[in-house]
């Protein structure tokens, strides 16, 4: 039984109006006519729909379909066609279908088995991502491009022996030389054992496999990406064959170490970093949510980008005196349990977002012998000594006299409850204090030449009338004409802007979790890009003028928004 859908959409063409290709539905599958004799299966209107699947939960993709007495060959399953169809348990694709595009079965959480015919010549990306129950993958033995040799329950590209997709029961054949990106995504196996013969493990090869506990790497592996096991947060055992020339896990350290560079490229919650290394690699412990404490041994000179990003249980880190540089950015970002950190004397490079999102961090101490940075007067911040700039701070930072500038993202989401700007401050980056939801008090020293507060719980740039920082308790002063970029660290539920305001800057109110309603006066001429982006609870915006220019992205992500315009 099928329904016929004729699309009313059309577009202009130099030679006239061209109607969109007709669609029809047969047995719950939507087809689009692509020629006089061919159709493609396209994404369904409701991607979560499973009501069309039969009682046995079998999805049979036909090689041809008869519609209104005419036979069409099915050539392609287009991207996301059956994405998140939770009713599917088994898929059989008939011989004749040539192509499976990106993410076709992604998120089919109950899918258990897939049968792919000889005719399939193209398989896209992310096709079986998060098919957490997938246990059987069979490729027809006559397929010239792909195979599942030796009953391995995987998809292998025959020409280069690359494993493209695996499932929970995959046994990787020894003839496989490379594991492709996203080959294992969101699967539930506890052990991955790579065979002798494997040479390469690509970036994101094993991705977000939360139940994975044990990894074995053979002696033949020559190339492992730093993000090969990205977001596999529960791994406890990492072992590498002793004969491997390129990598080792010396002293049963439960980590992957590049022998030639001395870089620890990936670790887990049970890693004990051995001596003799030069660097903690980028992303080495990212999202290692069960890592509670880590001792970085002497000899380590560099910590790579985002090395400990999102280690939410990490409370204590011991930094060696040999450390020279935090390379890249975001090294301890969103380590929400980290409470203190000591910066040794030889460190000469620290990024400003090193502690972004560290809401428990209260104590930052820089060795007094450090020539580049200091934490003067026990200010609990990292100050770049040469220009008196705060590079990074925390919830207990005191911005002391003598500090001249505050750098980008230096206090981003750090849990500040109050902000005081001393008289010496000359520059504050617009992103310095972003998203401090608990901040209720903002003050400026009366002797500051450039900025003022005047008991308004905000920071005003004197010569421009620009409000550069505000919070939920801010009283907007009459002289304020511009609300600056990222101005509000948090907001009240309801805001009525005064008629002195002329512009609302880039992301001025962005990411507010509280803002529900705002009235914008007719004096406002411009609402900038992302001004209210991702204000998830914003329901009502009243524009008092039809002449206000509103950037097309000003309210991006405001899914509940009801906008009214008054004049």
CB burial of residue 160 (10 Å; 0-12, 13-18, 19+): exposed
Using DSSP bridges, classify how beta strands 458-461 and 466-470 pair: parallel, antiparallel or unpaired.
antiparallel
With a pLDDT cut of 70, the percent of the chain lying above it is 93
Q: Which residues contact 333 (CB under 8 A, 6 or more apart)?
A: 306, 309, 310, 353, 354, 355, 356, 357, 358
Q: Residue 133 to residues 105, 334, 341, 382: CA-CA distances in angstroms?
A: 12, 32, 43, 48
Q: 3-state DSSP call for residue 386?
A: helix
**What's the pLDDT score for residue 44?**
73
**What's the pLDDT score for residue 415?**
95
Torsion region of 52: left, alpha or beta (phi above 0 gives left; psi -120 to 50 gives alpha): alpha
In whole angstroms, give the CA distance from residue 140 to residue 168: 20
pLDDT, tens only, 237-268: 999 999 999 999 999 999 999 999 999 999 99
Measured between its terminal Cα atoms, the distance across the chain in Å is 54
In whole angstroms, give the CA distance from residue 414 to residue 399: 14
Q: 3-state DSSP call for residue 252?
A: helix
Using DSSP bridges, classify how beta strands 466-470 and 482-483 pair: parallel, antiparallel or unpaired.
parallel
The tokens for 558 are 């405001």
Task: Walk me through the domains of the chain, giving residue ranges and CATH numbers.
Answer: 1-119+127-138 (3.80.10)
Contact 39, 32 (CB under 8 A): yes
The answer on pLDDT for 19 being more than 90 is: no
Q: Residue 375 to residues 265, 302, 383, 394, 405: CA-CA distances in angstroms?
A: 31, 21, 6, 12, 15
For the residues 211-225, what does the mean pLDDT come to? Answer: 96
Rg (CA), the chain: 29
For the residues 164-188, what does the mean pLDDT come to? Answer: 97
pTM of the model: 0.87
Q: pLDDT class for 566, splitting at 50, 70, 90?
A: low
Q: Which of 44-48, 179-183, 353-357, 547-551 has the lowest mean pLDDT?
A: 44-48
In whole angstroms, give the CA distance from residue 96 to residue 182: 27
For the residues 122-142, what does the mean pLDDT come to? Answer: 97
Q: Name the more confident of 163 and 20.
A: 163
How many other CB atoms are found less than 10 A from the CB of residue 87? 18
For the residues 274-298, what does the mean pLDDT come to? Answer: 96
The answer on pLDDT for 56 being more than 90 is: no
**Beta-strand runs (E) in 241-323:** 247-248, 255-258, 263-267, 279-280, 293-295, 302-303, 316-318
pLDDT, tens only, 443-479: 999 999 999 999 999 999 999 999 999 999 999 999 9
In whole angstroms, give the CA distance from residue 382 to residue 389: 8
pLDDT, tens only, 499-508: 999 999 999 9
For the residues 493-515, what does the mean pLDDT come to? Answer: 96
Q: pLDDT class for 17, splitting at 50, 70, 90?
A: very low
In whole angstroms, give the CA distance from residue 535 to residue 512: 5
In whole angstroms, give the CA distance from residue 183 to residue 228: 10
Which residues lie across from 13 on neighbouring strands?
Answer: 16
**What's the pLDDT score for residue 27?**
86
How many other CB atoms are found less than 10 A from the CB of residue 411? 31
């Amino acid at each position: 039984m099928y329904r016929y859908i004729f699309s009313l959409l059309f577009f202009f063409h130099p030679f006239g109006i061209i109607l969109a290709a007709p669609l029809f539905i047969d047995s719950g599958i939507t087809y689009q006519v692509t020629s006089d004799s061919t159709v493609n299966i396209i994404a369904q209107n409701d991607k979560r729909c499973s009501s069309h699947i039969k009682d046995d939960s079998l999805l049979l993709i036909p090689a041809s379909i008869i519609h209104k007495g005419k036979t069409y060959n099915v050539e392609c399953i287009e991207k996301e066609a059956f994405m998140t169809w939770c009713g599917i348990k088994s898929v059989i694709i008939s011989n004749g279908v040539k192509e499976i595009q990106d993410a076709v079965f992604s998120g089919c959480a109950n899918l258990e088995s897939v049968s792919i015919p000889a005719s399939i010549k193209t398989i896209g990306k992310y096709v079986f991502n998060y098919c957490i129950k997938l246990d059987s993958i069979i490729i027809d033995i006559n397929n010239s491009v792909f195979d599942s040799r030796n009953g391995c329950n995987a998809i292998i590209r025959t020409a280069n022996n690359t494993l493209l997709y695996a499932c929970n029961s995959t046994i990787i054949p020894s003839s496989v030389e490379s594991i492709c990106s996203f080959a294992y995504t969101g699967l539930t196996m506890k052990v991955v054992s790579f065979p002798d013969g494997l040479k390469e493990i690509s970036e994101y090869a094993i991705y977000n496999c939360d139940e994975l506990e044990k990894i074995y790497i053979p002696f033949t592996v020559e190339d492992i990406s730093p993000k090969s096991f990205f977001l596999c947060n529960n791994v406890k055992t990492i072992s590498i064959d002793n004969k491997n020339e390129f990598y080792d896990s010396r002293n049963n350290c439960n980590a992957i170490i590049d022998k030639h560079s001395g870089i620890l490229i990936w670790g887990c919650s049970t890693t004990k970093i051995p001596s003799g290394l030069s660097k903690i690699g980028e992303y080495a412990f990212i999202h290692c949510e069960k890592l509670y404490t880590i001792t970085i041994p002497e000899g380590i000179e560099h910590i790579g980008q985002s090395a400990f990003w999102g280690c939410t249980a990490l409370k204590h880190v011991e930094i060696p005196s040999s450390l020279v540089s935090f390379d890249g950015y975001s090294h301890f970002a969103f380590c929400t349990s980290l409470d203190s950190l000591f910066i040794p004397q030889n460190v000469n490079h620290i990024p400003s977002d090193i502690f972004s999102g560290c809401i428990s961090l209260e104590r930052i101490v820089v060795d007094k012998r450090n020539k580049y940075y200091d934490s003067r007067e026990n200010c609990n911040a990292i100050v770049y000594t040469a220009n008196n700039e705060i590079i990074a701070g925390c919830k207990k930072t005191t911005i002391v006299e003598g500090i001249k500038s505050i750098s980008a993202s230096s206090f981003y989401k750090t849990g500040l409850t109050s902000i005081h700007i001393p008289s010496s401050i000359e520059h504050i980056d617009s992103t310095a204090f972003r998203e401090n939801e608990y901040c209720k008090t903002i003050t400026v020293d009366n002797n500051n030449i450039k900025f003022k507060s005047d008991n308004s719980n905000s920071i005003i740039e004197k010569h421009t009338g620009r409000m550069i920082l505000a919070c939920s308790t801010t009283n907007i002063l009459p002289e304020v004409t511009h609300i600056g970029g990222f101005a509000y660290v948090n907001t009240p539920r309801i805001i009525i802007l005064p008629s002195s305001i002329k512009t609302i800057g880039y992301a001025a109110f962005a990411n507010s979790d509280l803002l529900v309603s705002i009235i914008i006066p007719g004096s406002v001429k411009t609402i900038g890009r992302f001004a209210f982006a991702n204000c998830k609870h914003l329901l009502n915006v009243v524009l008092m003028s039809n002449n206000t220019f509103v950037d097309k992205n000003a309210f991006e992500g405001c899914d509940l928004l009801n906008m009214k315009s008054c004049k």
